[in-house]
Amino acid sequence: MLDIAVLGAGRIGRIHAGNIAAHAGVRLVGVAETDASAAAQLAALHGTRTLDVADAMRADAVLIASPTPTHADYIEQAAAAGRAVFCEKPIDLSAARVRTCLATAQRAGIVLMVGFNRRFDPHFAAVKQRLDAGEIGALELLTIINRDPSPPPLSYVANSGGLFRDMMIHDLDMARFLLDEEPVEVTAAASCLVDPAIGAAGDVDTALVTLRTASGRLCQISNSRRATYGYDQRIEAHGAGGLLRAGNVFPTTVDIANASGFRSDPVLPFFLERYAAAYRAELDAFVKAARGEAPARPNGEDGLRALLLADAAVEAARSGRTVQPAEA
């Protein structure tokens, strides 16, 4: 039995806690939270206890789902205790801090997995498998579309690290995963078109990034904090021998047809629904890694490399120049 403690009982902590509770061979030993009532509610839901952080660090493994600024410290505490760690993305908003944290984790020799859940989405994972199987030959152009249904609350925007490091970081990881080659150039354009308050808070809500790898493969990422038809999550990989495409996922396959044409359901509303299967599969991968049955991927280095690409995108958008990402 693998005991896992969850740190943070917010939107994503609740999902992970539910998946841990439902996973065979794994026990949710408790929930550590600064908000006592959120902790008590989640613990009660799964028949487990509330913990302080020191108790949580005594579990076999910890799942860090607290706000981003807490991640690196918690990873280091878990490293000192020799615990396996699953940490939500991003590890930190500062690449320098990520590097010191990863060095500590590496010295301690702990398992560290980072929550780039989209690698585990069955549709995107199938694109990866079929690319690797050579079904479209050499990959040449990759298009990743990621649009939220509506902007997050301004309080979230203010502490998120901005669209590139908070939202696009998923797409930058997906680009690395599918391109199978590190991007060496980043070009970006960004605007505030959805909500002027986001601009006033110093962030953008609409962005395009182009990545180029050393062999010349190109990837374009399209992000918006608005999509009127639901959570828009699509990928298209174009290669020498054809195209692989993963479209949006709908609650049902039922269409209605009438004099106005055909109409399907709106796409699944947001990440909790769209990536429910991915969150279960990534937990399963973490459990295997924590038991020493498989390497942890995506790992700390994947977390750092995605952040370095986000940093390059921020600089590219600011300067209007093509930027080379820093070495990992």
Ligand X SMILES: NC(=O)c1ccc[n+]([C@@H]2O[C@H](COP(=O)([O-])OP(=O)(O)OC[C@H]3O[C@@H](n4cnc5c(N)ncnc54)[C@H](O)[C@@H]3O)[C@@H](O)[C@H]2O)c1
* 142/197 Cα distance (integer angstroms): 32
Q: Does 92 bind ligand X (CB under 6 A)?
A: no
Name the minimum Å distance from CB 274 to ligand X.
Answer: 9
**Helix or strand holding residue 62 (H, E):** strand 61-64
Q: How far apart are CA 78 and CA 57, in angstroms?
A: 6
Residues 6 or more apart whose Cβ sits within 8 Å of residue 320: none
List of residues 6+ apart from 328 with CB closer than 8 A = 301, 304, 305, 308
CA atoms within 13 A on the CB side of 154: 9
Which conformational region is residue 222 in: left (phi greater than 0), alpha (psi within -120 to 50 degrees), or beta?
Answer: beta
Sign of CA pseudo-dihedral 272, 277, 278, 282: positive
Site string for ligand X, 186-225 (x = CB under 6 A): ----------------------------------------
CA distance 115 to 298: 7
Among 29, 65, 207, 268, binds ligand X (CB under 6 A): 65
Task: Candidates 32-40, 177-185, 257-265, 303-311: pick the segment binding ligand X (CB under 6 A).
Answer: 32-40
Among 70, 220, 222, 264, binds ligand X (CB under 6 A): 70
32 binds ligand X (CB under 6 A): yes
Q: Which CB atom, from 40 or from 194, has the smaller least distance to ligand X?
A: 40
From candidates 5, 6, 7, 167, binder to ligand X by CB under 6 A? 7
Output the smallest distance, CB 279 to ligand X, in A. 7
Q: Which of residues 95-154 bind ligand X (CB under 6 A)?
A: 115, 117
Residue with smaller CB distance to ligand X, 298 or 325: 298
Residue 8 sits in the site that holds ligand X (CB under 6 A): yes
> Closer to ligand X at the Cβ: 161 or 239?
161
**Which residues contact ligand X (rule: CB under 6 A)?**
7-13, 32-35, 38, 65-68, 70, 88-89, 115, 117, 166, 271
